[in-house]
Amino acid sequence: KKGYSFGTFKGVYTPSVLTIFGVIMYLRFGWVLGNVGLAGTLLIVTMATAITFLTGLSISAMATNMKVGGGGAYYIISRSLGIEAGAAIGLPLFFARAFGVAFYIAGFTEALMTVVNPLPMLDPAIAAKVISAATLVLLTALAYFSADLALKVQFAIFAAIGVSLVSFFMGNPTPEALAIPATATIPPKAAFWVVFAVFFPAVTGIEAGLGLSGDLKDPAKSLPRGTLLAIGTGYLVYMAMPVFLHLRVPDGNLLLIDSNIMTTVARWSIPIVIGVFAASLSSALGSLLGAPRTLQALAIDRVIPRFIGKGFGKDKADPRIATAISFAVALGAVLLGDLDLIAPILSMFFLLSYGLLNLSAGLEGLIESPSWRPKFKVKYGISLLGAAACFTAMLMIDAGATIIAVVVTSLVFYLIKRRQLNAHWADMRYGILTLLIRFAIHRLNKLKPDERTWRPNILALSGSPKSRWHLIEMAHSLAQHSSALTISSILPVEDWSAAKVQSMETSIRDYLAKREVEAMVKIFPSPDMLTGASALVRAYGYGPLTPNTILLGDTDNSESFTEFAELIKLVYRTERNLIMLKESNRVPAEEAIEIHVWWGGNKDNIGLILTLAYQIQKSPIWKQSKLHIKTIVDSEGERGAAKERLNSFIEEQRIPAETEVLIKQQSSFYDIIRQVSANAGLVFMGMRPPEKDETDDAYGAYYGKLMEATSQMPTLAFVLAAEKIEFRKVIGISQRG
């Protein structure tokens, strides 16, 4: 095995419990009791520990379901929610732990200088920085050369804290020791949630043991046992201390002004002073062991340069380069001095990691993948409750710092996403999306499509994207990220193979991605194009998620008119709308920015046409275009009434369009359209729906005449509405019209 192969006590329990028994226990616990009383203190301890306990349960479940490597929270989150989410929390968490080293050392220095100033010749502020820097160098040397030696030192620290607790619980102070000085000023009591925010960091030490996950002999056994045992130990001590203080200190005002109340109450004061020193140093040392290993795990996964993760020493287990970087960051924080402004933000990253650990375990249980078989079973609701508790605690402690932490994490996620790192492991994102889709489909299946939420769900029968790009461009302009789009191609059956289908799908998908077209790709084997297209129209889709609009190109092969008419009739019979795009062989004018809609009297068609015209104007290609609605009447006498109806229509429905009514002065409507729309960029026209008993030959003849009549025109989009939707309501057309 690589690493030190630490056991439960040495690798998880000791660093975790030493971080839990920190400076807050020695210097702030009495203040907590003085502000909220015994009942309030016990409630705060229980609430705070419950959050940590729920996170410990989630860690236990995750650790017994996967082979946990180095990096602690980063490793588990990245293997569950993806490398982007792991890096988004791993990088800020590294800096939080590195800066945390400076905080813990600052606490040690403050406690030391209250007892004795070893550098009296220097200004106190400068002396504090010198002592902190020297302490950092000593602790880094321990972590740099051997984590094993560092943890052995923690045994001595653990013993010192144990002795200090014994001294505290044996204390029986005299009334004189508990007297409040006459000159003392009693501060006002703080609110419950303010006190909770001060105490909560005292129970967040489980990250220390989790950070050494890559150096454990059996992470699946050690992480659950060591983490939960440390949480339990901390809870018992933290529940006993306020009860003992309440019995020994009858005047709660003393608790508000005496930050060294443990020293006042204890049987011997020296063990308490040593305990404060030991707690500060152990927390700093735990962070110095965990921060480099998070950085090392990020380097191994290529999130940061790989050389940073190089190992040295026994079994290449000591990340000395990462430790040196952690030292540099911590030294910068020490020299910076006042870090109170960023302290709340750093705490948020710890809570955010706990929340994501709970969320990972909860989602794994909710998805119920066959691979989710933890030996330590936890109901997914418990883990999700833990996630909610973590995020709620973040907001209660500092809403502003929470927002900053979320913004920073989101920014890192975005930057890693842009790098498009290819992880060599599977995560649960596919399972999460599948679960959401399953839920949505079952809900959607109980609903009927309505005019208010209608979107063109398009199946584009495009063939090769390179040869018929105009069809894909049209489909993409209509979909524009708000509708579903599928690009399909028919593969001749004699050339069919699973490998070839997959290769074609990948090739088309990559081609579309380069042109920023979001679409699904479907390759369908079939003996011929029209047979395959008909089969796709009948069968493509899943449950209620079936295409409601079919987009295809025209055909000018007269021998195929009958079969093509059969396809159009099939689309209409299956109640799918049809858009048939006929590309112009004319060179368009340079300023072809007009979209012309010709209204021939079919109200269903015009409703769909105007909906599609509105959709296409939202695309970048057509967003500057102007919409013109035109109609033709037989005589001058009809012109005024028709013009008034069109103007009233666009005014009532707030459609940004211009209207024009033309008189039929030529023998063919199509000659007028050809002349008036000569410079249009796109022309929408309606198609006649097939009659009930109309044969394929008859409708094929209609199609042939339509193609002949519309020759030498700009690009045409023929529209045939067939879906059982009142498209007049989609665009808002009045029922009176």
**Are residues 507 and 373 part of one domain?**
no
**Are residues 409 and 549 part of one domain?**
no
Give the lowest-confidence range in 120-129, 414-423, 644-653, 727-736.
Answer: 727-736
Tell me the C-alpha to C-alpha distance, in Å, between residue 52 and each of 200, 548, 630, 712.
10, 50, 69, 74
> Which residues are CB-contacts of 647 (< 8 A; sequence separation ≥ 6)?
659
User: Are 409 and 509 in contact, with CB atoms under 8 Å apart?
Assistant: no
- pTM equals 0.73
- Is residue 448, in this structure, part of any structural domain at all? no
Tell the residue number behind the tokens 């144990």, with chain if given.
162
Cα gap 677→326, rounded to integer Å: 70
**Are residues 470 and 400 part of one domain?**
no
Q: How many domains does the chain have?
A: 2
pLDDT at 3: 58
Give the rounded percent of residues in the chain with a pLDDT score beyond 70.
Answer: 95
Cα gap 352→403, rounded to integer Å: 11
**Are residues 507 and 380 part of one domain?**
no
Cα gap 679→467, rounded to integer Å: 25
Strand partners, 312: 318
Structural domain of 563: 458-730
- Is residue 60, in this structure, part of any structural domain at all? yes
Quickly state the pLDDT bin for 737 (edges 50, 70, 90). Answer: very low
**Are residues 484 and 411 part of one domain?**
no
- Is residue 391, in this structure, part of any structural domain at all? yes
**Are residues 227 and 149 part of one domain?**
yes
Residue 447's H or E segment, with its range, is: none
- Is residue 102, in this structure, part of any structural domain at all? yes
Look at residues 369, 395, 419 and tell me which one is the last residue of a structural domain. 419
Tell the residue number behind the tokens 């990972």, with chain if given.
360
Look at residues 419, 446, 469 and tell me which one is the last residue of a structural domain. 419
Query: Tell me, what CATH number does 91's domain have?
Result: 1.20.1740.10
Residue 557's H or E segment, with its range, is: none
Residue 243: pLDDT over 50: yes
Cα gap 430→367, rounded to integer Å: 10
**Are residues 481 and 410 part of one domain?**
no
Closest CA to 360 of 56, 58, 52, 63: 58
Mind listing the pLDDT tens digit for each residue in 173-199?
Answer: 888 888 888 788 888 998 888 888 888
- Is residue 436, in this structure, part of any structural domain at all? no
- Is residue 737, in this structure, part of any structural domain at all? no
Encode 704-732: b = buried (16+ Cβ within 10 Å), e = exposed: bebbeebeebbbbbbbbbbbebbbbebbe
User: Are 129 and 117 in contact, with CB atoms under 8 Å apart?
Assistant: no
pLDDT at 734: 43
Angle at CA of residue 61, ends 348 and 199, nearest 5°: 30
User: Are 248 and 177 in contact, with CB atoms under 8 Å apart?
Assistant: no
Cα gap 111→508, rounded to integer Å: 67
Look at residues 362, 388, 419 and tell me which one is the last residue of a structural domain. 419
Quickly state the pLDDT bin for 678 (edges 50, 70, 90). Answer: confident
Mind listing the pLDDT tens digit for each residue in 618-648?
Answer: 888 888 888 998 988 888 888 888 888 888 7
Q: Which long-range contacts (CB under 8 A, 24 or more apart) does 635-638 make?
A: 635/663, 636/663
Quickly state the pLDDT bin for 735 (edges 50, 70, 90). Answer: very low
pLDDT at 575: 92
Strand partners, 683: 596, 716
Rg (CA), the chain: 36
Give the lowest-confidence range in 458-467, 589-598, 677-686.
Answer: 589-598
Tell me the C-alpha to C-alpha distance, in Å, between residue 457 and each of 69, 577, 730.
44, 10, 15
Give the rounded percent of residues in the chain with a pLDDT score beyond 90.
Answer: 26
Closest CA to 460 of 717, 659, 679: 717
Mind listing the pLDDT tens digit for each residue in 516-555?
Answer: 889 999 998 888 888 889 999 999 988 888 999 999 999 8
Taking each helix axis from N to C terminus, what angle separates 269-300 and 124-145, rounded to the nearest 10 degrees?
60
Please provide the DSSP assignment of 295-314 as one string: HHHHHHTTSS-GGGG--BSG
**Are residues 557 and 497 part of one domain?**
yes
**Are residues 491 and 355 part of one domain?**
no
| 3-state SS record for 664-683 | CCCCCHHHHHHHHCCCCCEE
- Is residue 219, in this structure, part of any structural domain at all? yes
Tell the residue number behind the tokens 């306990």, with chain if given.
53
| Cα dihedral 19, 20, 21, 23 in deg (nearest 10) | 70
CA terminus-to-terminus distance, the chain? 80
Length of the chain: 737
**Are residues 89 and 238 part of one domain?**
yes
Residue 2: pLDDT over 70: no
User: Are 615 and 645 in contact, with CB atoms under 8 Å apart?
Assistant: no
- Is residue 440, in this structure, part of any structural domain at all? no
Query: Tell me, what CATH number does 484's domain have?
Result: 3.40.50.12370
**Are residues 469 and 377 part of one domain?**
no
**Are residues 470 and 384 part of one domain?**
no
Edge-first strand order for the sheet with 485-492 is 520-526, 485-492, 458-461, 549-553, 577-582, 716-720, 682-686, 594-598, 626-633, 657-663
pLDDT at 736: 39
Cα gap 694→573, rounded to integer Å: 12
Cα gap 523→504, rounded to integer Å: 7
